[in-house]
Amino acid sequence: MLWPWPMMRSMPVLILPTLGSFHILHPRYNAVTILEMAKAYGPRAVLLASYAPAELEAGLWRDVGDLPLFHLLPWAERNGLEVAALDKHPNLKVQAEQFRQALAQFPRGQEFLAQAAELERRLQALLTRPLLPDMLSRPAFVDELWNYLDGFAQVFGEGPATGFRAQRMQAVAEQIGSRGEGRWLVISDLLDYPYLLREIPGATGPGAHASSPAEADRAILDRAWRLEEKDDWSLLLQQLQEIADAEAQYLAAQIYLAAGRPEDALALMEALLHSEFAHPAYLPGYVLARYGQLQDLAGNRQAALRAYQAALALSWVPAEAREIALAGQRNPFKLG
Asked if 162 and 14 sit in the same domain, the reply is yes
Asked if 47 and 142 sit in the same domain, the reply is yes
Largest Cα separation within the chain, whole Å, is: 70
Q: Is residue 221 part of a domain?
A: no
Q: Is residue 218 part of a domain?
A: no
Residue type for 11, please? M
If you ran DSSP here, which 8-state letter would residue 204 be given? Answer: B
Asked if 70 and 186 sit in the same domain, the reply is yes
In CATH, what number is assigned to the domain containing residue 318? 1.25.40.10
Report whether 180 contacts 8 (CB < 8 A).
Answer: no
Q: What is the 3-state secondary structure (H, E, C) of 205-264?
A: CCCCCCCCHHHHHHHHHHHHHCCCCCCCHHHHHHHHHHHCCHHHHHHHHHHHHHCCCHHH
Q: Is residue 216 part of a domain?
A: no
Give tens-digit pLDDT for 19-64. Answer: 999 999 999 999 999 999 999 999 999 999 999 999 999 999 999 9
So what's the pLDDT on residue 1? 35
Higher pLDDT, 266 or 151: 266
Rounded average pLDDT over 259-280: 96
Asked if 282 and 153 sit in the same domain, the reply is no
Asked if 249 and 150 sit in the same domain, the reply is no
Asked if 161 and 201 sit in the same domain, the reply is yes
Asked if 17 and 113 sit in the same domain, the reply is yes
Tell me the pTM: 0.91
Asked if 87 and 190 sit in the same domain, the reply is yes
Compute the mean pLDDT over every residue in the chain, rounded to the nearest whole number. Answer: 91
How many Å separate Cα 209 from the centre of its chain?
A: 20
Asked if 97 and 128 sit in the same domain, the reply is yes
Q: Is residue 66 part of a domain?
A: yes
Domain boundary among 209, 237, 266: 209
Domain boundary among 182, 209, 236: 209
- CA 237 to each of CA 221, 294, 297, 322: distance values in angstroms, whole numbers, following the listed order: 10, 19, 22, 26
Domain boundary among 165, 181, 209: 209
Phi, psi of 46 (to 5 degrees): -110, 120
Q: Is residue 336 part of a domain?
A: no
Domain that holds residue 290: 227-330
Torsion (CA) 209, 210, 213, 214 in degrees, nearest 10: 0
Provide the number of structural domains found in the chain: 2
Q: Is residue 255 part of a domain?
A: yes
So what's the pLDDT on residue 4? 40
Q: Is residue 335 part of a domain?
A: no
Q: Is residue 73 part of a domain?
A: yes
> Would you put residue 318 in left (φ > 0), alpha (ψ -120 to 50) or beta?
beta
Higher pLDDT, 106 or 115: 115
Give tens-digit pLDDT for 194-238. Answer: 999 999 998 999 999 999 999 999 999 999 999 999 999 999 999
pLDDT bin (cut points 50, 70, 90) of residue 2 is very low
Give tens-digit pLDDT for 159-198. Answer: 676 778 999 999 999 999 999 888 999 999 999 999 999 9
Give tens-digit pLDDT for 270-292. Answer: 999 999 999 999 999 999 999 99
Asked if 167 and 244 sit in the same domain, the reply is no
Asked if 7 and 60 sit in the same domain, the reply is yes
Asked if 151 and 197 sit in the same domain, the reply is yes
Give tens-digit pLDDT for 142-164. Answer: 999 999 999 888 877 776 767 78
Report whether 221 contacts 33 (CB < 8 A).
Answer: no
